[in-house]
Structure 1
Amino acid sequence: MSAAKSTIDHRVFSAGRLSLGLTLPLLRAGEIVADFREQIGLAALADMLGFRALWVRDVPLNSADYPDPVGHLDPWVLLGALASHTTQIALASGAIVLTLRHPLHIAKGAGSVQTLSNGRFILGLGSGDRPPEYAAFGRDAEARRELYRTHWDTVAAALGDAPRVIPDLRPENAPDFMLLPEPPLPVPMLAVGSGGQSVDWIARHSIGWMTYHREPETQRARHSMWRAAVDRLPAPAFRAFGVAMRLDLSDNPHEPATPLSLGYRAGRHALLAVLDDMRENGTHHVTLNLGSDRPVRDVMEELAADVLPKFHA
């Protein structure tokens, strides 16, 4: 990026600091049908309360065989609505399935959200991990690693400092294309999951690496591997490390942390300790996937009152 460098990624990812975001949809435990009008209101509340990012998933197809029964809106439609109903909070995709969408369509969507949000978009990109979905879209799951790299290059070219369109084919006398309107700032691109790539490739091409919560010892090992890759870059650079974590926030603030799949059940005091340990071990952002018996607004307001000030001051 140039002098017109995006700043939204620095509000979410900053060296030595930890910020907190939320993953949509925001549902109570056991809910599988989201009222997306309510979700837009909760997103506006998250913006007002001071959360740093809202994360939107790309789930093209559902199946009874999949563990997640929640129906997700098309991410570009939802991101457009979020851009129109928030003012400060970062909007992030976690993640657009880079291998199942044409990269120029992704670039057009990302530039559109960047324009509507006035520069608040972070483009998280993943490769998907379900071979039957590849077949449904006429893609070869075995080719996903190469697809990820080539599609990444096309998106990066279209959204960078000097935007240019890389066509799949260029017939004789074909015109040069451009994507308009040009967004106000280049769009930061973030690797979500590995996409079948090495950590060295991710460190060279992405602003950082977003991964799922794992038990602390495993996560520390992954972070050490990431730091080593960042240290191998030819020039010193900051590269972010972020985690998506499930949270069942107890209404008892003193309840100890109990491990859950991809996260914890905890009272706020134990949660503060967990997050502080993550910050000390080099995590820059945690997006919380809420799920408890409590009303979502109550959980958000408790987090904003008693947790966010410890990290966002």
Structure 2
Amino acid sequence: MSARRGLFVAPFDALADPAEVGDLAARAEAAGWEGFFVWDHVQYGDRVEAVADAWTCCAAVALRTERLLLGPMVTPLARRRPHVVARQAASLAALSRGRFVLGLGLGDDGVGEFSDFGDESDPRVCARMLDEGLEVLTALLSGEPVDHDGDHHTARGARFRPAAEVPLWLVGRFGNRAPVRRAARHDGFFVIGLDGPADLDRVTADLAAHDPRPGFDVVVDLTVDDDPAPWLDRGASWVLTRIGPYDLDLDAVRRVVDAGP
């Protein structure tokens, strides 16, 4: 089956307004795109001046659309409290009528996004925090009682209602084994750092060794200038077009969106 097409939007500068992002999502749905995913950052270096909150943008997208899948891509769970993320995710799942997808990963401290604020920045520690956070998050979303007392997170006698079915896509760089194993336990793998479509053969083979669940998604992203044709029917279930991060011009972005997939 052919891959589905979506947009991977940095809510920066000209798009650092959740209302504008919501308008853009409505245009995307009208143009035939099937997904609208928003970068989750608090800062992005000197070349980006303004940044919008991804979760507020997701709420705007949910309210302005009826069919698009949507979600933050990706949220670094190690810098978040999993019980707060669980509440937010369940609420966005309800607001979107089941169209919310939660992208999660380690994140990157390349511009001081973690260390500038005193957050953990060691990738090895963040990986352990991510794994433990996923355990707490998924348990809370299930609606069942949760008792967890771990190295990084605690949930004592917690039970969150309503329960929510929220697909989890894990991000990882091509060639790294740990993200493949982690992603295969959930609902999708957003793989970055691919050199070309042929790399997807290795990705799908590596995933198959971990027996992912039926309907598992493999997600890739391309620039606006990349030809998506060679990537379609090559093992990816989603091919996203990246909008941003730098020198965003609202009129140019609208032309890309209005052109459709």
TM-score class normalised by the smaller sequence: 0.7 to 0.9
**Cross-structure match for 1:280:** 233
Letter in 1 for 2:24: L
Q: Given the two structures, how large is their TM-score scaled by the length of structure 2?
A: 0.82
Distance apart, 1:146 and its partner CA: 0.8
In structure 1, how many angstroms separate the alpha carbons of the residues matched to 2:10 and 2:64? 15
**Cross-structure match for 1:225:** 202
Distance apart, 1:301 and its partner CA: 2.5
Letter in 1 for 2:191: T
**1:163-187 Cα deviation digits (max 9, x unpaired):** 4444447xxxx9722223433xx10
In structure 1, how many angstroms separate the alpha carbons of the residues matched to 2:114 and 2:231? 35
Distance apart, 1:53 and its partner CA: 0.7
**1:120-142 Cα deviation digits (max 9, x unpaired):** 00001011111643332332514
Distance apart, 1:99 and its partner CA: 0.9
Identity rate, percent: 23
1:47 and 1:89 in contact (8 A); partners too: yes
Letter in 2 for 1:188: P
**What are the residue-to-residue correspondences of 1:53-72 with 2, within 5 Å?**
53-64=35-46, 69=48, 71-72=50-51
Letter in 2 for 1:156: T
Change (3 A) 1:63 1:168: farther
Q: In the alignment, is residue 150 of structure 1 matched against residue 132 of structure 2?
A: yes
Change (3 A) 1:175 1:200: closer
- Alignment partner of 1:287: what SS? strand
Distance apart, 1:229 and its partner CA: 2.7
Unaligned runs of 5+ in 1: 1-15, 249-263, 265-270, 309-313
**Cross-structure match for 2:167:** 188
In structure 1, how many angstroms separate the alpha carbons of the residues matched to 2:173 and 2:220? 13
**1:56-111 Cα deviation digits (max 9, x unpaired):** 111023442xxx51533222211112211111111122101111101111111111
Greater C-alpha radius of gyration: 1
Letter in 1 for 2:217: A
1:100 and 1:137 in contact (8 A); partners too: no
**Cross-structure match for 1:138:** 119
Report the number of matched residues. Answer: 248
**1:132-158 Cα deviation digits (max 9, x unpaired):** 433323325141111111111111112
**1:227-277 Cα deviation digits (max 9, x unpaired):** 2233223587443211121114xxxxxxxxxxxxxxx3xxxxxx3xxx232
**Cross-structure match for 2:256:** 299
Q: In the alignment, is residue 89 of structure 1 matched against residue 68 of structure 2?
A: yes
**Cross-structure match for 1:290:** 243
**Cross-structure match for 1:22:** 7
- Alignment partner of 1:88: what SS? coil
Change (3 A) 1:39 1:78: closer
1:92 and 1:122 in contact (8 A); partners too: yes
**1:264-310 Cα deviation digits (max 9, x unpaired):** 3xxxxxx3xxx23212321221111236876333322223xxxx4xx
Unaligned runs of 5+ in 2: none
Q: Given the two structures, how large is their TM-score scaled by the length of structure 1?
A: 0.69
- Alignment partner of 1:179: what SS? coil
Change (3 A) 1:199 1:165: same
1:203 and 1:229 in contact (8 A); partners too: no
